[in-house]
């Protein structure tokens, strides 16, 4: 055999050894836990035959500084490369739990860091499919240094390319910080977990029995901590949701989001919008009905649905163009702003601003949540985050006041003087320093105390306050909103307004960065 033939034989043999690593036994272990293998995840994510793997044959280093055994394997427990998702370039890495528990060693970290740097250089999104027990104990400080490099790259790419994390098993110890540094985190119910210290450490240190699911499962992070933005019941649907989510985003911060024009568009005037807000100002309704009526058919993709549900955020399309939506939800806590909703809103606004996604605000907010707990936990500081985010954002910003718009919350929700480009109101809007009941109770305390029928007097004063102070026509006449509109024409007004703002340009002060109240 000539020399070229001998090399080609070695090439083929090496390919076979790589395939042998993904054997049926390892696949069976993953499937028995309700999980896919790393290769199956990559195949499901990328368009057919488009994925190109990089550094498939690297092996962990035999270092004199290592402690214990290190399994020799190609790839060192992570698949990394690039391909097309819905026809667009995307970089990704998928950790392989069947190789040393997906633990991160030096070579493993170098592969991830290389893909991160390539994605940044090419201006393409990066996705991490995470299934890892954390830092590789055998490699000591070297594995910790590897995590530090990954975190540094996350931060360098922040606001430049979309970074998405998908937790598909454990993410323990150092493995949890990269996902939170990325833009959005997906989790799968009952098979994915995130915690800094696992159940065994909790048991040892605090003598508390807790399961992985109770400590850091998808439901915990979706509802309580807010770390998970989207959760699904199985890995297939998680990846399908991820692919749909990507379709709303630009590839980087100098591109505009993709435009997807549906064949059958909604009419510009929608009469049913006139009937959503109840006549009784204290009666709740579902703001998602308003969203669904305004945006293109079935285009609303909600983010962090289960966390701080008094504020609804998500992406949608309006006449084919991606927009970000922030909406108070009257059916949850009457739509008030609190600590969690303020943080949720601020982070979403900043993402939209970083990636050229116009922002639509649908407002029905009675104020900030009162109470000692909120005050002591810093509602002032956390509420200011949303204030800062709205004011700092330079993308097109439009507000529609649906009903209540009181006090500081009026200011925070993209008011005209905070930088709103177009501010509209429905005839049902109530704009004032506070609600009519509270205002009357303060302004007419003495009269109410001396009245023969205080309830009747208060009712009359509340009606007068609504007519003379809180109605939207006063704000319209003074220029604090641009127009009181017929709810049925909302979709048409928004399409026209966003089109007018397409070439918006804002000059900002020269500075390194602002100091958001973190």
Q: Which residues are catalytic?
A: 173-174, 408-409
**CA count, 13 A, side-chain hemisphere, 461:** 20
State how far Cα 334 lies from the chain centre: 23
Residue 430 three-state SS: strand
Q: Where are the alpha helices (DSSP H) in 169-306?
A: 177-181, 199-206, 212-216, 218-220, 235-246, 287-294
CA distance 294 to 246: 22
Helices and strands, counts by H and E, the chain = 20, 16
User: What letter does residue 112 receive in the DSSP assignment?
Assistant: H
- Other C-beta atoms closer than 10 Å to the C-beta of 370 total 11
Q: Report how far residue 386's alpha carbon sits from residue 325's, in angstroms, rounded to the nearest whole number.
A: 14
Return the closest-CA partner of residue 321 out of 160, 485, 501, 185. Answer: 501
Strand partners, 188: 232
- Strands 88-95 vs 311-318: parallel, antiparallel or unpaired: unpaired
Burial tier of 54 (Cβ tally within 10 Å: 0-12, 13-18, 19+): middle
Nearest to 290 by CA among 331, 321, 241: 331
* Backbone CA torsion sign across 253, 82, 30, 145: negative
Categorise residue 399: left if φ over 0, alpha if ψ from -120 to 50, beta otherwise. Answer: beta
Question: Angle at the Cα of 357 (from 354 to 362), degrees rounded to 5?
Answer: 115
SS3 at position 198: coil
Partner residues linked to 170 by β-bridges: 193
Q: How far, in Å, CA of 129 to CA of 277, rounded? A: 42
| CA dist., res. 14 & res. 216, Å (int) | 40
- Rounded CA-CA distance 133/96 in Å is 10
The four Cα atoms 34, 35, 36, 37 give a dihedral, to 10 degrees, of -130
CA distance 124 to 253: 10
Closest-CA residue to 38 (of 105, 110, 128)? 128
């Amino acid at each position: 055999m000539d020399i070229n033939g001998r090399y080609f034989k070695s090439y083929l043999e090496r390919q076979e050894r790589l395939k042998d690593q993904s054997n049926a036994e390892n696949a069976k272990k993953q499937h028995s836990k309700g999980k896919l293998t790393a290769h199956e995840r990559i195949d499901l994510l990328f368009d057919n035959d488009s994925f190109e793997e990089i550094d498939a044959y690297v092996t962990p280093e035999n270092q004199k500084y290592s402690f214990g055994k290190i399994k020799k394997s190609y790839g060192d427990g992570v698949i990394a490369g690039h391909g097309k998702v819905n026809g667009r370039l995307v970089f990704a890495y998928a950790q392989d739990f069947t190789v040393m528990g997906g633990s991160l060693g030096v070579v493993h970290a170098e592969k991830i860091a290389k893909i991160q740097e390539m994605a940044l250089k090419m201006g393409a999104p990066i996705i991490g499919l995470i299934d890892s027990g954390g830092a590789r104990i055998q490699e000591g400080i070297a594995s910790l240094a590897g995590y530090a490099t990954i975190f540094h790259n996350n931060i360098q790419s922040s606001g430049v390319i979309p970074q998405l994390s998908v937790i598909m098993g454990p993410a323990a110890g150092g493995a949890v910080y990269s996902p939170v540094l990325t833009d959005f985190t997906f989790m799968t119910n009952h098979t994915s977990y995130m915690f800094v210290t696992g159940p065994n450490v909790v048991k040892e240190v605090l003598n508390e029995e807790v399961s992985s699911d109770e400590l850091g499962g998808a439901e915990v992070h979706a509802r309580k901590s807010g770390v998970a933005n989207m959760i699904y019941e199985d890995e297939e649907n998680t990846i399908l949701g991820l692919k749909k989510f990507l379709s709303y985003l630009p590839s980087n911060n100098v591109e505009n989001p993709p435009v997807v024009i549906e064949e059958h568009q909604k009419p510009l005037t929608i009469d049913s919008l006139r009937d959503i807000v109840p006549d009784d100002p204290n009666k709740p309704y579902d703001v998602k009905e308003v969203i669904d009526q305004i945006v293109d058919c079935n285009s609303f993709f909600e983010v962090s649905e289960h966390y701080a549900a008094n504020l609804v955020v998500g992406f949608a399309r309006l006449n084919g163009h991606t927009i970000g939506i922030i909406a108070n939800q009257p059916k949850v806590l009457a739509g008030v702003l609190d600590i969690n909703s303020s943080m949720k809103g601020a982070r979403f606004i900043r993402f939209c601003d970083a990636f050229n996604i116009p922002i639509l605000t649908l407002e029905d907010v009675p104020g900030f949540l009162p109470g000692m707990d909120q005050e002591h936990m810093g509602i002032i500081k956390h509420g200011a985050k949303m204030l800062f985010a709205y004011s700092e954002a330079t993308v097109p910003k439009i507000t529609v006041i649906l009903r209540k718009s009181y006090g500081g919350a009026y200011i925070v929700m993209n008011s005209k003087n905070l930088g709103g480009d177009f501010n509209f109101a429905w005839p049902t809007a109530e704009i004032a320093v506070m609600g009519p009941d509270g205002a009357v109770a303060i302004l007419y305390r003495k009269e109410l105390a001396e009245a023969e029928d205080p309830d009747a007097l208060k009712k009359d004063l509340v009606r007068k306050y609504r007519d003379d102070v809180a109605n939207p026509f006063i704000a319209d006449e003074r220029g604090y909103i641009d127009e009181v509109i017929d709810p049925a024409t909302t979709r048409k007004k928004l399409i026209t307004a966003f089109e007018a703002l397409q070439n918006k340009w804002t000059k900002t002060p020269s500075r390194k960065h602002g100091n958001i109240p973190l």
